[in-house]
Homo-oligomer: A and B are copies of this chain.
Amino acid sequence: MTQHPTAATRRPANRGPKAAAGNRAALISAAREIYASQGLDAPLSTIARRAGVGQAVLYRHFPDRDAIAAAVLEENVRQIERAAAEGSALAEVLGVLTWHLARSAAFISLLHADEASGHPRHTRAFARDMHDRVEHALRECLPDGHRLGGPDDLMLAVSMVSGAVGGPTHAQREHRALAAWGLLGVTVGPVRPLRD
C-alpha cells in the first residue's frame, strides 16, 4: 500500500497522479495545522514547507489563499459526511465534528452562516452550503427520539457548542466543547479525525 504523506513527514517532490493526490492531501493537512496555530493569514510558504513541497506545487493545486482555505473546510465537511455515510452512530460523527471545531476558527464561523452577513455573497453561499451539508449528514444518523430531534435543534446545538469553544490550546478547546455537549445532555464519542 502507498504510504500517504502526513504533515509531519518531510518528503521529496515526486511525480505522477498518485503523487499529485498525495501532495494535495499533504497540503490540506499542513494548512489545517498551520491555520490552527497561526490563523488564516499564515504565509503560504509556511504551509508548503510543512507539507514538504515547493511553493510551485502549492500554487499548482491552489491558485490563491482562498482556494486552500476552502479546501480545508471542504475536507472538514467531507469527513463528517463520510463518517455519517459509513453508518457511524451520531456520537461518533459528533466526535469528528468536535475534533474539527476545536482546530478551526474558520470552521466555526462557517457553521454560523446566518451571522456571516457582513461577508460577500459568494462567501455566504459557500458557508450556507457547508452548513446544510453538515446538517444533512448529522440528520442521517440521528436516532428517533433523540433530544436534538426538533426541526432546528441539531444545528442550534452545533452553534451553541461552537460559541463555547475557546482557549489557547486544542486541549482546552476540546475540553470546552465536550463540557458544552455535556451541558446539552448529548453524548459524544472519541474526539478524533476520521482515519482513512
**Residue ranges of A at the interface with B (Cβ–Cβ < 8 Å):** 112, 114-115, 117, 148, 152-153, 156-157, 159-164, 166-168, 176, 179-180, 183-185
> Given A179-B152, A184-B184, do A166 and B157 touch, yes or no (CB 8 Å)?
no
Which of B117, B156, B167 is A168 in contact with, Cβ under 8 Å? B117
Distance, CA A157 to CA B176, complexed state (A)? 11
Determine the chain B residues whose CB is within 8 A of the CB of A156 once the complex forms.
Answer: 164, 176, 179-180, 183
**In the bound complex, do residue A159 and residue B166 qualify as a contact, i.e. CB atoms below 8 Å apart?**
yes
Determine the chain B residues whose CB is within 8 A of the CB of A157 once the complex forms.
Answer: 183
**In the bound complex, do residue B164 and residue A159 qualify as a contact, i.e. CB atoms below 8 Å apart?**
yes
Distance, CA A185 to CA B160, complexed state (A)? 13
Determine the chain B residues whose CB is within 8 A of the CB of A161 once the complex forms.
Answer: 160, 163
In the complex, 24 of the A-B residue pairs with CB atoms within 8 angstroms, ordered by the A residue number, are A112-B163, A112-B166, A114-B166, A115-B167, A148-B183, A156-B164, A156-B176, A156-B180, A156-B183, A159-B163, A159-B164, A159-B166, A160-B160, A160-B161, A160-B163, A160-B164, A160-B183, A160-B184, A162-B163, A163-B163, A163-B164, A183-B184, A184-B184, A185-B185
**In the bound complex, do residue B160 and residue A180 qualify as a contact, i.e. CB atoms below 8 Å apart?**
yes
Q: A151 → chain B, closest Cβ, in Å?
A: 11
